[in-house]
A = this chain, B = another copy of it.
Amino acid sequence: MARVRLQDVAEHAGVSMKTVSNVVNDYPHVSPATRSQVLASIEALGYRPNATARRLATGRTGTLALAVSDVSLPYFAELASTISRLATSRGYRLLLEQTGESVEAERAVLLGGESGLVDGIIFQPSHIALDDLARYTTATPVVLLGEGDAPEGVDTVMIDNTAAAREVTEHLLRLGRRRVAFVGHEAHGLSATSRQRLNGFETALREAGARVDPALLLATDAISAEAAERAVGAALDGGLRFDAAFCRDDLAALGALSALRRRGVRVPDDVAVTGWDDVTLTRFSNPTLTAVHPDLDHLARSAMDLLEERVGGYRGAGRHVVAPHSISVRESAPSA
């Protein structure tokens, strides 16, 4: 229990608290002699500055929060990893919050029972409604990730979901596929993300003169590989036929691959499959997965930039950054 305070160091070194503080914080105006004397005392007493007291005095926490539904989902895991690294490199600590499937928890992120906990929040909403988002905009700066229709005044960072969805669909069409299924959107309460991807999907189909068959929209009762496997399995068992599957995310794609495999359907020969997020593991699926690849570094950096400006006092209008994306073409839907 090393309970050594700044004051103790000051006394030990025979200087004032201010001087010790100056040394600890690397302020310029300290004579070398005094500095080394203070440093020696710090060493001798094993002094460590108290983070909480510093926070209270400065008003800054040096901490950011990242809120996602569940970090065990590969995309969120990679996002968290990237943002954590970035936060560290910029001198912030990262608080992790999981909102699960609850709108309540997402609201709580925004409201935050306490104030002064973090300087800012990077938040990827999954279930909360738009007007809720607007209503709960608080004092703590927030940057929204992957949210299309953000309320006024809120910063957002995302890739162009609609455009990316079109590109993927066009890729599938170039492969000569005409009966393209959409897999993995929510059966109830379509998320903004799913909506945008569906939009791009349908647009590309229409532009190509292909039919948009409602029967080919395979919704799931959860955002998971299991749910997608069930949905695709049930569709196949029910006699539905298609030659391509545009999956809402990589997990859905993995589920689809599994359902197809169990029924002896060949990928990509019989059915081409695409994913979304391009998480590391899709390079090791069998077959490897063609997927939309968001530029995660760019996304994270943009989010941090916007957030730091807000933390720094920016009070202007909401900015909307579109991060770049690409299509990683692999075995499940190869080049034409």
Contact = CB atoms under 8 A, between A and B. Distances in A.
Contact of A1 (B76, B139, B261): B139
A316 to B, nearest CB: 15
Contacts of A53: 56, 116
Chain B CB within 10 Å — which of A52, A56, A281 has the most? Answer: A52
Contacts of A7: none
A266 to B, nearest CB: 12
A303 interface: no
A51 B116 contact: yes
**What is the oligomeric copy number?**
2
A85 interface: yes
A1 B141 CA distance: 10
What's the interface size class on A, roughly? 35 or more
A115 interface: yes
A219 B160 CA distance: 42
A15 interface: no
A29 to B, nearest CB: 23
Interface stretch (A175-183, A208-216, A252-260): A252-260
A187 interface: no
A78 interface: yes
B74 A281 contact: yes
Chain B CB within 10 Å — which of A61, A66, A257, A283 has the most? Answer: A283
Interface string A110-140: 0011111100000000000000000000110
Interface stretch (A35-43, A91-99, A195-203): A91-99
Nearest to A77: B77
Contacts of A2: 115, 138-139
Interface string A33-62: 000000000000000111111111000010
A2 B116 CA distance: 11
Nearest to A261: B286
Contacts of A72: 77-78, 80-82, 280
A206 to B, nearest CB: 32
Given A48-B112, A98-B88, A116-B50, A284 B254 contact: yes
B74 A80 contact: no
5 contacts: A2-B115, A2-B138, A71-B77, A76-B77, A281-B281
Contacts of A138: 2
A84 interface: yes
A85 B102 CA distance: 13
Given A50-B116, A52-B117, 4 more contacts: A48-B112, A71-B80, A80-B80, A255-B284
A93 B67 CA distance: 12
A225 B283 CA distance: 9
Contact of A258 (B51, B139, B286): B286
A2 B136 CA distance: 13
